[in-house]
Structure 1
Amino acid sequence: MTKLTIYLFAGCLLLTASSCNKFLDLKPKDGIIRQDYWKTKEQVAAAVNGIYASMLGSTTGDRAIPEYLFMWGETRSDNVTPGFRAVQDELDIANLNVLPTNVFTNWRTIYQTINYCNTVIELTPGVLELDNTFTQEQANAYIGEALTVRSLLYFYLVRTFKNAPLRLKATFSDEDIASVPLNTDKEILNQLVTDLKTAEEGLPVTYGNKVTDKGHATRYTANALLADVYLWMDKYTECVAECDKVINSNRFGLIQAGQFFMEVFYNGNSNESIFELQYDIQKTNPFYTMFTPNNKRWAAASQLSELVYGVDVINATPIVDCRGDNTSFRSTDFTIWKYVGADQYGEDMRATDQSIAHWIIYRYADVLLMKAEALNAAGQPLEASRLVKTIRRRANALDLEPMDSTNKLGMMYYILAERQREFAFEGKRWFDVLRNAKRDDYQNRQLLLSMAAISIPTDRQQAAFAKLRDDNSHYFPIYIRELETNKLLVQNPFYK
């Protein structure tokens, strides 16, 4: 398998509804799934590929999932600023003025893919009885992929909405659709831990080729995701253990400064990559109309150059952080360069039909910095500092401020700043700040207020500060349409 989209959305077309507008959009095509389809291992494989295809772009005309992940993880942060083509709903998110009518709070596409995962999990065991060439090992691997993707999507829902319906059974017809109440974040997170441990047992360490290893969930995808879940749950020992599984595999490494942009972001599927969504010329990404200068809905925030990455005005040959100018963004016009740039010099841009930059979900640097954060939170700032220094040496980073490896609070700020430099525009910044802010009963709430002081216009800051002092405001409201169709849902109290 060389390209995920070669499968022409096979699984999606067999699983998705053509016109269902009911709660969570769970209805697949009439009767096809169970009566005519789930009979061979090849059909299971096609359904699994349909899961990944559905993550690249919605089959119902909605936005692609990576667009939601960018919106949910970046647009409330100090990394970005709205561009001239941003719509009102985007401006409202940037100004922390989200309402239940905001279209970017619609989780329909996420649950559509969750239902594809549920279908694979539920129906794959039955194929073992019908296809004697289908092995238990193969079935476990396919189920492991579905469990991992489902867990990933629920993890985004927890971090974005806090409470959400936990749907673990597939829906095959209108008769199966029922109103589903909210589950708490703790219930969902505990389920993710269980599911990812199960997935790890069945997933392979490799599929035998690079594209599939990076574009499908492997055992190390489950490890990285579970480490992230544990970090959100403040389970530091468990987080470190999952990170170590990835580190000790010796299958990943950091791409050095000279090749960083071209290998990690332009070409994709680098040795640093653990899991990324595979766009190609058959299925282009949504980023061209989000970030290019003539279509700019979102731009890099202007303070990134000096305050985040730094500008060396001392050395005759300036030190340049390889993650900053002409990698994450282009300083001449603050274009978000990671997804639309075609070179590491800030000159050439991808054409529309070459807008095939992948959406990277986990890479090796993330594992190292998650481990550093967990070690520091557990009272080991010196050990944490060594991992951070490894990342900084690779990046050729400037020393903007001293690192105090003996101070837990200081290292927390330092690691958070390093994550901002490393993962700008990769859908992580808001979640990183919120995770650190809420730790120890919001002991570091000031992180959210300080970020708002940078990203919110002066005349709106006091209103934003007042909102951020309410914990419920840190999560999105439930979309109004979902409340209308499912009477068991209860709106986030902040938005009532």
Structure 2
Amino acid sequence: MKKLHIHISIFLLALGSLSSSCTKWLDLKPQDGLVEQDFWQTKEHVRSAVNGLYISLTSGNLVSSLFMHGEIRTNMVELSAFTTQVLDEYRFANLMSANTLTNWGEYYRIINLCNNVIDNAPKAKEMDPTFSQEDLDAYIGEALTIRAWMNFYLARIWGDVPLKLTFTQSDDDNLMIPKSTQAQVFEAVVADLTRAGGMVKETFGGSVAMDKGKITKNTVNALLADVYLWQNDYEKALAACDVIIQSGKFQLVPGAASTWLNTLFAEGNSVEGIFELQYDRQQLNPFHVLFRQNPTYLVGNNVYESLYMIDESNPENFDVRGDRGSLDASSGQIYKYQGINRELRKTLEESYTHWMVYRYADVLLMKAEALNELSRGQEALDLIYEIRERANALSFNDLNPSPSDPESITTFLLEERAREFAYEGKRWFDVLRFARRDNYARLDFITNMVTEYAPVDRQQSMLGKYRDPNSHYLPIYFTELQMNKALIQNPFYTN
């Protein structure tokens, strides 16, 4: 896998250049002229390498990729006139292995940076007597968590994928790595997170930006809860959510129309945020270009009217997540990352709204999902209604499910997740997770969604493909197959 080839000297050069545009709290550069044999000598070297991990999450194409993979196959978006053929093929289930969007290189590049820290940071502990074991463990825990997060995405996007758990230093390393099953990857993710949970910090000493923008124990537990839901291990998912809830460190941002968007997104690092990728004036996000300048993605047809709904009798009664919350109903643009408030938008120079990885609302709804699967319907509904009350969700879309009807609660919960996390890169993964449970007992979640957005002339073809679970995962990019002879193409794309 050539995408995994990162020689350490190249890594240090890249890290040095990335540090020139680092965020406020990623402020340590490696010294000029360092080469492989001179690195991993001090705790500062390790700190620099770990800071480089966070820079890698915001400086490349990762966030654009997370958005695309989470939204493009859903009814939440439409492709604009500025779209490309490769996006069109992805959206309308016409993917082939030559489509560049199937390239997983960005994820493995970050994994290899993590592996570099995990494998080599202990060397600095041997050389630097001021480097404590506690600090070393914390750095390795951060790298383990980011590696787990990337592997979690790989397994949900491609299904069965190679597990690369050691650093690739040169082209001489063995890169003929076969795929592990999705279940095995999930197990490896849990193993990394379980190990990291005992290593990472609870807080970075009162710095809000660091507590929200770096890996903490709460980040680890939020990610664990998510993985456990994919493994159908609801007791463990519930326990992970409860650790976060019982910490007392988080609460929902008030849902007032004048403050919800501004506090949670425009400003960021609110009391609701658990892990947010940090952008600032030195490192802008990609959303101004994606959603406004020459928008690639627009709001899906009827999302506002059918998902959030309208109270025509009372214009002052509206869901704060709807118009001028997540979307702009008048222009059809995605608004969540543009707005300063309901009236003002950010300029290009102000486009540094953070990317939400996990926030407290997600924890509450993951807990509701686990409770519902454990036949504790009323407790699940209490959490769903807590989210709805905060947002002033309209009564028109209240499905009013019975506490004893888990299937109806599931439908209600999936719709509420769509309203709450619109355009946060979660929709496809939510629908797939709910659909695949109990041997795809709710495949209709996927097929009904496809019916909503598929053009009439493509609908039957797309439905035929999506009825095959193998189609829910992407093909392996053709160059990976050429370079790694241990790989085999994903089943749906072999004919």
Contact 2:219 / 2:358 at 8 angstroms: preserved in 1? yes
Say which SS state the counterpart of residue 362 (structure 1) adopts.
strand
Deviation of 1:28 after TM superposition, in Å, equals 3.1
Deviation of 1:261 after TM superposition, in Å, equals 0.2
Deviation of 1:231 after TM superposition, in Å, equals 0.2
TM-aligned CA distance change 1:25 to 1:352, over 3 Å: farther
Whole-angstrom CA distance in 1 between matches of 2:392 and 2:342: 15
Whole-angstrom CA distance in 2 between matches of 1:74 and 1:451: 12
Aligned residue identity for 1:429 = R
Whole-angstrom CA distance in 2 between matches of 1:177 and 1:192: 22
Whole-angstrom CA distance in 1 between matches of 2:5 and 2:283: 23
Aligned residue for 2:480? 482
Contact 1:23 / 1:486 at 8 angstroms: preserved in 2? no
Percent identity between matched residues is 43
Q: How does 1:76-87 map to 2 (within 5 A)?
A: 76-87=73-84
Say which SS state the counterpart of residue 358 (structure 2) adopts.
strand
| Residue 442, structure 1, aligned to residue 444, structure 2 | no
Aligned residue for 2:27? none
Say which SS state the counterpart of residue 175 (structure 1) adopts.
coil
Aligned residue for 1:55? 57
Whole-angstrom CA distance in 2 between matches of 1:103 and 1:175: 26
Whole-angstrom CA distance in 2 between matches of 1:139 and 1:104: 36
Deviates more, 1:431-440 or 1:301-310: 301-310
Deviation of 1:177 after TM superposition, in Å, equals 4.5
Contact 1:23 / 1:179 at 8 angstroms: preserved in 2? no
Contact 2:3 / 2:109 at 8 angstroms: preserved in 1? no
TM-aligned CA distance change 1:389 to 1:401, over 3 Å: closer
Contact 2:115 / 2:167 at 8 angstroms: preserved in 1? yes
Contact 1:159 / 1:431 at 8 angstroms: preserved in 2? yes
Say which SS state the counterpart of residue 463 (structure 1) adopts.
helix
Contact 2:3 / 2:108 at 8 angstroms: preserved in 1? no
Whole-angstrom CA distance in 1 between matches of 2:480 and 2:49: 27
Aligned residue for 2:298? 299
Say which SS state the counterpart of residue 174 (structure 1) adopts.
coil
Whole-angstrom CA distance in 1 between matches of 2:198 and 2:429: 28
Contact 2:262 / 2:339 at 8 angstroms: preserved in 1? no
Whole-angstrom CA distance in 1 between matches of 2:285 and 2:475: 27
Aligned residue identity for 1:214 = K
Deviation of 1:22 after TM superposition, in Å, equals 2.1
For normalisation by structure 2, the TM-score amounts to 0.92
Deviations 1:404-442 (A, max 9, x none): 122100000000000000001111000000000000000
Structure 1 gaps of 5+ residues are: 1-20, 59-63
Aligned equivalent of 2:429, options 431, 455, 471? 431
For normalisation by structure 1, the TM-score amounts to 0.92
Aligned equivalent of 2:345, options 341, 346, 349? 349
Deviation of 1:108 after TM superposition, in Å, equals 0.7
Runs of 4+ in 1 over 6 A off after TM superposition: none
Aligned residue for 1:470? 468
Aligned residue for 2:26? none
Aligned residue for 1:180? 177
Whole-angstrom CA distance in 2 between matches of 1:115 and 1:122: 10
Whole-angstrom CA distance in 2 between matches of 1:234 and 1:383: 19
Deviation of 1:86 after TM superposition, in Å, equals 1.0
Aligned equivalent of 2:385, options 379, 389, 400? 389
Deviation of 1:34 after TM superposition, in Å, equals 4.2
Deviates more, 1:24-33 or 1:450-459: 24-33
Contact 2:228 / 2:234 at 8 angstroms: preserved in 1? yes
Contact 1:71 / 1:104 at 8 angstroms: preserved in 2? no
Aligned residue for 2:19? none
Deviation of 1:314 after TM superposition, in Å, equals 2.9
Whole-angstrom CA distance in 2 between matches of 1:331 and 1:370: 29
Q: How does 1:313-324 map to 2 (within 5 A)?
A: 313-315=312-314, 318-324=316-322
| Residue 267, structure 1, aligned to residue 263, structure 2 | no
Say which SS state the counterpart of residue 360 (structure 1) adopts.
strand
Contact 1:189 / 1:229 at 8 angstroms: preserved in 2? yes
Whole-angstrom CA distance in 2 between matches of 1:433 and 1:380: 21
Contact 1:252 / 1:272 at 8 angstroms: preserved in 2? yes
Aligned residue for 2:168? 171
Say which SS state the counterpart of residue 49 (structure 1) adopts.
helix
| Residue 198, structure 1, aligned to residue 195, structure 2 | yes
Deviations 1:77-135 (A, max 9, x none): 11100011111111111112222111111111111110010011111112111111111
Deviations 1:183-208 (A, max 9, x none): 11111111111110110101111102
Aligned residue for 1:12? none
Aligned residue identity for 1:141 = A
Say which SS state the counterpart of residue 78 (structure 2) adopts.
strand
Whole-angstrom CA distance in 2 between matches of 1:173 and 1:36: 17
Deviations 1:345-380 (A, max 9, x none): 3xx322222211111100000000001011101211
Contact 1:26 / 1:111 at 8 angstroms: preserved in 2? no
Aligned residue identity for 1:115 = N
Say which SS state the counterpart of residue 356 (structure 2) adopts.
strand
Aligned equivalent of 2:364, options 343, 368, 377? 368
Say which SS state the counterpart of residue 386 (structure 1) adopts.
helix
Whole-angstrom CA distance in 2 between matches of 1:71 and 1:332: 23
Whole-angstrom CA distance in 1 between matches of 2:304 and 2:9: 50
Aligned residue identity for 1:458 = V
Aligned residue for 1:28? 8
Q: How does 1:68-467 map to 2 (within 5 A)?
A: 68-208=65-205, 209-258=207-256, 259-292=259-292, 294-315=293-314, 318-345=316-343, 348-399=344-395, 400-404=397-401, 405-467=403-465
Deviation of 1:381 after TM superposition, in Å, equals 1.2
Contact 1:23 / 1:485 at 8 angstroms: preserved in 2? no
Deviations 1:141-184 (A, max 9, x none): 10110011110111011110011110000011222252211111
**C-alpha RMSD of matched pairs (Å):** 1.4
Q: How does 1:2-21 map to 2 (within 5 A)?
A: none
